[in-house]
Amino acid sequence: MSKRRTLLSEAELKIATKSTYVTTDEEALNLFYTDCQLRNLRPYTIKYYRESLQTKIKPLVLMTEDDIKNMIMEMQRRGLKVTTINTKLRAFKSFYNFLHKHKHIKKNPIADIKLLKQRQEVVPTLSKDQIKLLLSLCDRKTFVGIRDYTIMMLMLDTAIRVNELANIEVADVKHNEIVIRETKTFFERIVPMSKKLKEQMEIYIKIRGYAESDKLFLNQDGNELKRRSIQTRIEYYGKLSGIKDVRVSAHTFRHTSAKLFIQNGGNAFHLQQLLGHTSLEITKKYVNLWSTDIAESHKKYGALNNII
In tens, the pLDDT along 79-101 reads: 998 989 999 999 999 999 999 99
Residue 175: predicted pLDDT = 84
Mean pLDDT of 20-27: 86
Look at 134 and 299; give whichever has higher pLDDT. 134
175 dihedral zone (left: phi>0; alpha: psi -120 to 50; beta): left
Residue 14: predicted pLDDT = 56
pLDDT bin (cut points 50, 70, 90) of residue 273 is low
Structural domains present in the chain: 11-101 (no CATH), 128-295 (1.10.443.10)
Residue 276: predicted pLDDT = 65
Residue 188 has φ and ψ, to the nearest 5°, of: -65, 150
Residue 288: predicted pLDDT = 60
Closest CA to 271 of 197, 189, 216, 198: 189
Q: CB within 8 A of 49, min separation 6: which ones? A: 32, 33, 36, 91, 94, 95
For residues 165 and 155, the answer to whether their CB atoms sit within 8 Å is yes
> Any bridge partners for residue 178, and if so which?
173, 191
Say how far apart CA 193 and CA 173 lie, in whole Å.
Answer: 9
> How many other C-beta atoms lie within 10 A of the C-beta of residue 148?
24
Task: Please determine, for residue 198, whether its predicted confidence score (pLDDT) is greater than 80.
Answer: yes
- Numbers of helices and strands, H then E, in the chain: 14, 3
Residue 147: predicted pLDDT = 97
> Any bridge partners for residue 154, and if so which?
none
Say how far apart CA 287 and CA 269 lie, in whole Å.
Answer: 11
Task: Please determine, for residue 244, whether its predicted confidence score (pLDDT) is greater than 70.
Answer: yes
Residue 185: predicted pLDDT = 58
- For the question of whether the overall pTM of this predicted structure is more than 0.85, the answer is no
Say how far apart CA 15 and CA 48 lie, in whole Å.
Answer: 33
Task: Please determine, for residue 306, whether its predicted confidence score (pLDDT) is greater than 60.
Answer: no
Task: Please determine, for residue 260, whether its predicted confidence score (pLDDT) is greater than 90.
Answer: no
Burial 255-294 (b: 16+ CB within 10 A, else e): bbbbbbbbeeeeeeeebbebbbbeeeeebeebbebbeeee
